[in-house]
Chain A
Amino acid sequence: MKYVLLFAGNMSAEDRARDPELAAQYERTSKWFAEHMQSGKIVGGEELKGPETATTVRFHGGKPMLIDGPFIEAKEIIGGFALVDVADLDEALEMAKSWPGGNVEVRPVVDH
């Protein structure tokens, strides 16, 4: 059985540079990831860029509409994720619009 863990909260590089406590916390999450990757429990996962970079595709009467920003309603549960490697946002949005399962939030991944 597989699970997707979606972590709440974003921490930018600037936040970490400003606050050593945040930097330490970030360090701990990196370590947590490294350990579980090594044990083989994590098969894929990424740190996402901030919510201000998100675009949401919402379906109104079957028609896809783009909204600048992440999911707003707290009741919306993230049911899974696909990591896609495409040329640009338009291509990613095209895939999201063809998704048969409901609303999709598209977020770029941090390039380490």
Chain B
Amino acid sequence: MSKSGLSWIIEVLTETRTATEAALAAVFREEAAKLTGAMVRIIGNFDVAEEVVQDSLLAALEKWPDQGIPDKPGAWLMTTARRRAIDLLRRDQRYAEKVALLERSAVTPDPPEADDRLRLIFTCCHPALAQEAQVALTLRAVAGFTTQEIAAAFLVSEPTMAQRIVRAKRKIVEANIPYRMPQGPELVPRVDAVLAVLYLMFNEGYLSRGPGAAMRRDLAEDALWLASLLTRLLPEQAEVLGLLALMKLHLARSRARFDAAGEMVLLPDQDRNLWDGAEIADGVRLLHGAAALNAPGPYQLQGAIAAVHSEAPSWDKTDWAQIVVLYDTLLRLTDTPVIRLNRAVALSRLASPEVALGEVNDLAISLGGYYLFHATRAELLDELGEGGLAREARLTALELCQNPAERALLERKLR
């Protein structure tokens, strides 16, 4: 067989595999939350419900790649989960009533699915759970990730992640965290908690902290999917729209973010023709919708900053005055050192690198362990002709940075 023939087969094989994996991911994403939601409602025990759903997803992972995805994957998963739950609960006399419910559940009509999913998301993101547990539970129960996948995404061992999930599920059951949608004045702070989880998930996928892949499309895309689900379920929440817009505007630049060698390409150097214009337009449209609700917030402001960048024809022709105003407004709502660092970059264009460097140096105590603090200093020092100091800062950044694409960029600049 000729080499080209072989490479063609490999290509076809790997493509098929990727296609199956992508299809599986899409099914899990679509079905997991509905399934867990329905199971929690029928069984009334989050722990058991989540466990049987996870078991049926694992069964699908074993069977579907060989046998193909069934016509009605949701029904297949539901049947598998019900059988597993009946097996599990039969052993326990206390659950006789639940078993009867489960046996009947096959013929009951479809549940109010939107409510089920919302209740599930709010339960997983309950502020009485540690945020890392909220993220893990949301990925598992709502997006259908396996424990192994979540462990890989957050750079911890599988037993550690399994332990974290078990502990969180136990707390839901033992402390009686309610399975319901918050109402009245509680809603907005609880929505904030959900958005924080989705934002964290997105950031980890968009620019991984770890030494593995530079970008995990799945995590970022699943966060985007969850955010868009939330906008459909809570269309009147401006910050939900703002976060979805922010995610879309960032993902729209994906193709320009890494070069052929896998090196990170920073915004000033990106080929803007590679940006996805339709996605950008969609993001901007979402921001307009959010603004119409007249409830500004941090995600809308960050989305607006991303939109100004997205609509600029080049780095030099960016509306820096607008961006600095948006950062100032953002700082009034959430004053964090990282936002100050980002504002300083815009300020270096609007005012001067000296002014920006002064502001950045003020952040040394809070951001000394953050590689982007040192990388930003290096860029500013370069512009000021301080090559030696820039090199020092870049070396510190390299020491603190694990992402391979960003490391490649730093290493090249050091040469």
Contact = CB atoms under 8 A, between A and B. Distances in A.
B178 interface: yes
Nearest to B174: A53
A54 B182 CA distance: 21
B40 to A, nearest CB: 14
A89 interface: yes
Given A89-B177, A108-B175, A66 B170 contact: no
Contact of B133 (A66, A68, A106, A108): A68
B130 A88 contact: no
Interface string B377-389: 0000000000000
Given A66-B128, A68-B130, A88 B174 contact: no
A90 B178 CA distance: 7
A93 B32 CA distance: 30
Contacts of A52: 167, 170-171
B178 A68 contact: no
A68 B170 contact: no
Contacts of A106: 175
Contacts of A108: 174-176
B368 interface: no
A49 B128 contact: no
A69 B186 CA distance: 21
Interface in B158-202: 167, 170-171, 174-178, 182, 186
B198 to A, nearest CB: 19
B211 interface: no
Given A68-B129, A68-B130, A53 B171 contact: yes
A51 B209 CA distance: 31
A80 B133 CA distance: 30
A87 interface: yes
A89 B170 contact: no
A87 B133 CA distance: 24
A53 B129 contact: no
A89 B179 CA distance: 10
Q: Which interface residue of A55, A68, A69, A90 has the most chain B CB atoms within 10 A?
A: A68
Contacts of B369: none
Interface residues of B, number: 16
A14 to B, nearest CB: 12
A66 B128 CA distance: 6
A93 B128 contact: yes
B187 to A, nearest CB: 12
B192 to A, nearest CB: 12
A36 to B, nearest CB: 27
A88 B167 contact: no
A62 to B, nearest CB: 15
Given A66-B128, A68-B128, A89 B176 contact: yes
A87 B127 CA distance: 18
B127 A89 contact: no
B174 A49 contact: yes
A48 to B, nearest CB: 11
Nearest to A49: B174
Interface in A71-111: 87-90, 93, 106, 108
Interface string A44-73: 000001001111000000000010110000
Contacts of A53: 170-171, 174-175
A55 B178 contact: no
B129 A89 contact: no
A19 to B, nearest CB: 21
13 contacts: A49-B174, A52-B167, A52-B171, A53-B174, A68-B171, A88-B177, A89-B175, A89-B177, A90-B177, A90-B178, A106-B175, A108-B175, A108-B176
Which A-B residue pairs are the 5 nearest by beta carbons? A68-B130, A88-B178, A66-B127, A55-B128, A53-B174
Given A52-B170, A89-B176, 19 more contacts: A49-B174, A49-B175, A52-B171, A53-B171, A53-B174, A54-B175, A55-B175, A66-B128, A68-B129, A87-B178, A88-B177, A89-B128, A89-B175, A89-B178, A90-B177, A90-B182, A93-B128, A108-B175, A108-B176
Interface of A: 49, 52-55, 66, 68-69, 87-90, 93, 106, 108
